[in-house]
Structure 1
Amino acid sequence: MARTSSSRRPSLDSFDRAILRIVQQDAKTPQRTIAERVNLSTAAVQRRIAAMEDAGIITQNAAILDTAAIGMAITSIVEVHLTDERSATVDAAKALFRDAPEVQQCYYVTGGISFVLVIVSRDMVTYEAATRRLFAQNEAVASFRSLIALDRVKAGAEIVVP
């Protein structure tokens, strides 16, 4: 769900930071429980969460799935090198990767690699099909390297909020 984000982010106070720590651990935590834990009223927590959503600080609420439980046995971290870093090339790659359902995370990075992606697939056959479509048959991709995950030690996007 797209949110309207202001160009100027509001400063976060200690209550906002405490709320963020709680909702990162479990976005389904009832607002009354959050209110009790941070010593605010439920209405104040509701207003603060809405304000952080409107400001683009909270960008979405999502479930983290167990890939094995849903039959997605292959997780791969892929380094992608583009043929060039022109805006049109980079923007086209961003759009392609953003629209690919098997791409769970995508980062445009520095350091000699253009992109780092996290891809999940049912099996090696579907993974190979994805790599052909996204990389091997893509003239903008100079090369790519796959690292197959042996074990998912940690998943999620919890950020330490000071």
Structure 2
Amino acid sequence: MRKSADLDEFDVAILEILQKDCTVPQRQIGELIHLSAPAVQRRIKRMQENGVIEANIAVIDPTAVALPITIIVEVQIADERYELISAIKRSFLQAPEVQQCYQVTGEADFVLVVVVASMTEYQALSRRLFHDNPNVTKFKSLVAMDRVKVGLSLPLTRD
């Protein structure tokens, strides 16, 4: 985790632009924030090397690619030994249907965001990830009815 103090106002301005559209040319970013294109390029490279910028990706509408069902899954496990937690994390990481995975506090141990084409596909996934895993004691599925807000943009400037 990076300390926000490591980022100056130019870095934050660059990140705000890139979060909205990572295809904006560095020359244009420089014009917007009053830096040269090479200075913008150096800053972006530094933030990539330091792990501040993790990836440059396209955000795809799941319904446009025949993945209309989003399911939030709460997972409880029986044993919290390191090797068992590592194994279940690996199983979640390897499942392309799992879009997000959080290890959490509270009643659930993990919360997953899953996208699938059909409930039949979800049944197969739940069998593979949950029913067949002896360390999973319980899981609860919440089917999303509407995508109200989806995004990965972080609120970098706060009042």
Question: Do they superpose with TM above 0.5?
Answer: yes
User: How do residues 87-98 of structure 1 correspond to structure 2 at under 5 angstroms?
Assistant: 87-98=82-93
Is structure 2 residue 156 aligned with structure 1 residue 161? Answer: yes
Task: Give the Cα–Cα distance (whole angstroms) in 1 for the partners of residues 39 and 151 of structure 2.
Answer: 27
Q: Is the 8 A contact 1:9 1:55 kept in 2?
A: no
User: How do residues 1-162 of structure 1 correspond to structure 2 at under 5 angstroms?
Assistant: 11-162=6-157
The one-letter code matched in structure 2 to 1:140 is N
TM-score, structure 1 length as denominator? 0.92
* Alpha-carbon displacement from aligned partner over 1:74-107 (angstroms, at most 9, x marks no partner): 1000000011221111111111100101001111
Shift of 1:29: 1.2
Identity %: 48
The one-letter code matched in structure 2 to 1:78 is V
CA RMSD of aligned residues (A): 1.7
Tell me: CA distance 1:95–1:9, structure 2 relative to 1, closer, same or farther (3 Å).
farther
The one-letter code matched in structure 1 to 2:25 is P
Task: Give the Cα–Cα distance (whole angstroms) in 2 for the partners of residues 113 and 103 of structure 1.
Answer: 17
Q: Is the 8 A contact 1:64 1:155 kept in 2?
A: no
The one-letter code matched in structure 1 to 2:70 is T
Structure 1 runs of 4+ off > 3 angstroms?
A: 7-10
Higher fraction of helix: 2
TM-score, structure 2 length as denominator? 0.94
Give aligned pairs, total. 157
Q: Is the 8 A contact 1:22 1:34 kept in 2?
A: yes
For structure 2, the residue ranges without an aligned partner over 5 or more in a row are none
SS where residue 104 of structure 1 aligns? Answer: strand
SS where residue 113 of structure 2 aligns? Answer: strand
The one-letter code matched in structure 2 to 1:93 is I
Task: Give the Cα–Cα distance (whole angstroms) in 2 for the partners of residues 9 and 88 of structure 1.
Answer: 33
Task: Give the Cα–Cα distance (whole angstroms) in 2 for the partners of residues 53 and 9 of structure 1.
Answer: 15
